[in-house]
Amino acid sequence: MPRPTRPRLTLGLLAAIAVLVIAACTGAMPDRREMAAGDPVIAAGMATFDETCAACHTIGEGPLVGPDLAGVTLARDHEWLTAWVLDPEAFAALDADAAAIYTGSMPTLGLGTDEVDGVLAYLDSKSDVAPAVPVLAGPRELSAGEFDEASSVYFNRCAGCHGTLRAGATGPNIQPERTLEIGTAGLATILTNGLPGGMPAWGEAGILTAEEIELMANFVQLDPPTPPPLELAEITDTWNLVVPVADRPTEPLTDRDWENFTGVILRDAGQVAIMDGDTHEQVAIIDTGFAVHILRSSATGRYFVAVGRDGRVTMIDLWTEVPEIVAQVQGCFDARSVDGSKFEGYEDQYIIEGCYWPPQYVVFDGQTLEPLAVHDVLSPDINGKELDEVRVAAIVASHFDPVWVMGLKESGYVAIVDYSQPDFPLVKKIPADLFLHDGGWDHTGRYFITAANAQNKLMVVDVKTQELVAGVETGETPHPGRGANWVDPEFGWVYATTHIGEGKLTLIGADPEGSPEHAWKVVREIELPGTGSLFLKTHPNSPWVWMDTPLSNVQEEAHQACVYSKEAMELEKCFQVSDHGRVVHFEYNKAGDEVWVSVWDPDGELVIYDDATLTEKLRIAEPWLITPTGKFNVFNTANDIY
């Protein structure tokens, strides 16, 4: 089902509520239907309402993002309401009343007429409930302490999707001009219950308390604070060279196959566990600091480099007897991406960090993390609109040129940084599309494929010619992670993504030389049970593609993994990995015959599957496995195998 877009509480919708209230008071209504309690049609309608409508509407509890629906079946007949629900846009083109309330916010929900009948029967059965008076109270004043606390919650939970300055990206704009329209009560409900299409149910999930929700509902109606800049001298002040290069081993001191180590992020513990991929033993727990986001391997694989949400970069040496931190530095206040120099002759020479805030990238020495250069990425967007915030999203390191390629989220450019030149300049900005997020290489390493996820597209950039070659619509909010490459029996090489906003695996042709007729076009779409997918993964030695749905607000779906068969070209199966937490992110071992999956939970687990048989091999549930998320095998990460 397509993702419902997030409706807005507009004057038009409020007018509609007023019409309903007046109609109810004057008695100008059709007869009420007698619907028996316990009627299966009503029961089915209630289930559909809860699943599809309740995120935006209440019955008698006031407006959320859409109006309170109490009494709506008294004010409008079923025929009118059915036409409205089935396709509001089309109906608004035909009907003057519908046109008057249509603002573009009520989505086509993809319901069948039976389902709409059920919902209307359910609304009929509740037609004696009076609509609540819309709550449009402005925000209350916050004390300095409350404002600081709210800023910190916002940074930890909200900024990634809505932006530091709240202008929107993966999530919508939530600056005061919009949030004041929704009001404190509506905002609190959204924060509690989430919204279809990815907004987490922070309250329901027990992550934010009722007090925090009240605080945040007020905070987001106030002007956002602007965080300060972070310049080279200040970055250098944070630099800590823990082990100078001269004191490090010149060959591996460990007997383990360090190239088959897997780094596991323990997100809320601010740690990374290093696991031996052969024995499945935990080799070390490294304190990397606040909310580590990703790990990348240096070109040789010797170093793991972690980046935290607080912008701290940590370098871990895998050649020591037990892996240990050799350097740390903070290049940003907020960051998600990091990578090393991978071109021949530059292996392990430089590290780049992309900042969410300030709008900049920072280049460090690849052995010591000494800060070498900082460059601003703030510019107008591809359409010329002035911006206050441009975040560096995914970064990939080319294996064929001395360059890093990165997505600039708000401005919509794919930027190329040349590390063979003095001061590591940004040498090219290729206009792509707005809100670039995650992405990876195609199978040749020539094309960078990145999601413009708010545009529902994958953008394809030819890094050799430094040109955009395609923008492909794949579905609601594509989120490929690094993506997945394999040979489809019919279409040749393909690249694939899943989506946050709809349950769909989409394959695009990715062989412009061998199969030019399919290149950069959607060649296959496979329906998945559940929205909210973040990652998929495959390996050249695997017959499967693994997919998660951790952001689904349906618990069973958040607990599942799904597997697609490359050969049969269809979904093989979906199955429950755990009975708690969110099942997230996959990584293969070096041989490509095992898949590791995280159960993202304070009582976290790592589940290891035999890839050939899809059977569970080992479940690790130790107290140190606190909120495991991403996993990065050294060999696969250094060589961009996905």
Please give the residue ranges that form the binding site for ligand DHE (CB under 6 A).
160-161, 170, 267, 293-294, 336-337, 393-395, 437-438, 481-482, 534-535, 584-585, 629-630
Q: Closest CB to ligand DHE among 59 and 363?
A: 363
Between the alpha carbon of residue 491 and those of residues 450, 457, 475, 488, the distances in Å are 21, 20, 20, 5
Nearest to ligand DHE of 9, 403 (CB atom)? 403
User: Which two tokens mark 620?
Assistant: 């690790």
Given the residues 57, 443, 479, 539, the one annotated as active site: 479
Residue type, 537: K
CA dist 375 and 357 (Å) reads: 12
Q: Taken in order 411, 416, 419, 423, is the CA torsion positive or negative?
A: negative
The encoded tokens of residue 431 equal: 């206009």
- Supply 185's token pair: 């009560």
In whole angstroms, the minimum distance from the beta carbon of 537 to ligand DHE comes to 7
Beta strands of 377-531 (E only): which ranges? 392-397, 403-408, 413-418, 426-431, 436-441, 447-452, 457-462, 467-473, 484-488, 492-497, 504-509, 522-527
The residue among 127 and 474 lying less far from ligand DHE, judged by its C-beta, is 474
Q: Smallest gap, in angstroms, from Cβ of residue 535 to ligand DHE?
A: 6
Q: What are the E-state strand segments in 31-72?
A: none
d(CA 500, CA 476): 7
At residue 208's C-alpha, the angle toward residues 202 and 211, to 5°, is: 130
Position of minimal CB gap to ligand DHE: 160
Cβ-based nearer residue to ligand DHE, 235 or 294? 294
Q: Cβ closer to ligand DHE: 119 or 272?
A: 272
57 is catalytic: no
What's the token pair of residue 531? 């929205």
Catalytic-role residue among 53, 56, 106, 158: 158
Alpha-helix residue ranges (DSSP H) falling in 194-222? 210-219
406 as an active site residue: the answer is no
Q: How far is the CB of 333 from ligand DHE (least distance, A)?
A: 13
Residues 6+ apart with CB under 8 A from 493: 442, 443, 485, 486, 487, 509, 510, 511, 514, 515
Q: What is the C-alpha to C-alpha distance for residues 563 and 53, in angstroms, rounded to an integer?
A: 30
The SS3 call for residue 459 is strand
Catalytic residue among 199, 355, 459, 562: 199
Q: Toward ligand DHE, which CB reaches closer, 57 or 342? A: 342
CB of 122 to ligand DHE, least distance (A): 34
> Given the complex with ligand DHE, which of 59 and 352 has the nearer CB atom?
352
Active-site option among 57, 162, 293, 518: 162
Active site residue 280: no
CB of 364 to ligand DHE, least distance (A): 15
Active site residue 518: no
As measured in angstroms, the least distance from the Cβ of 348 to ligand DHE is 18
In this structure, the chain runs to a length of 642
- Least distance (Å) between residue 57 CB and ligand DHE: 26
C-beta of residue 519 within 8 angstroms of C-beta of residue 512: yes
Residue 343 to residue 345: CA distance in whole angstroms: 6
Q: What are phi and psi of 15, to 5 degrees?
A: -60, -40
**Cα–Cα distance, 486 to 642 (Å, whole number):** 9
Cβ 439 to ligand DHE, closest distance in Å? 7
Q: Which of 29, 161, 280, 399 is an active site residue? A: 161
Q: Which is nearer to ligand DHE, 523 or 534 (CB)?
A: 534
Catalytic residue among 293, 437, 443, 499: 437
Active site residues: 158, 161-162, 199, 437, 479
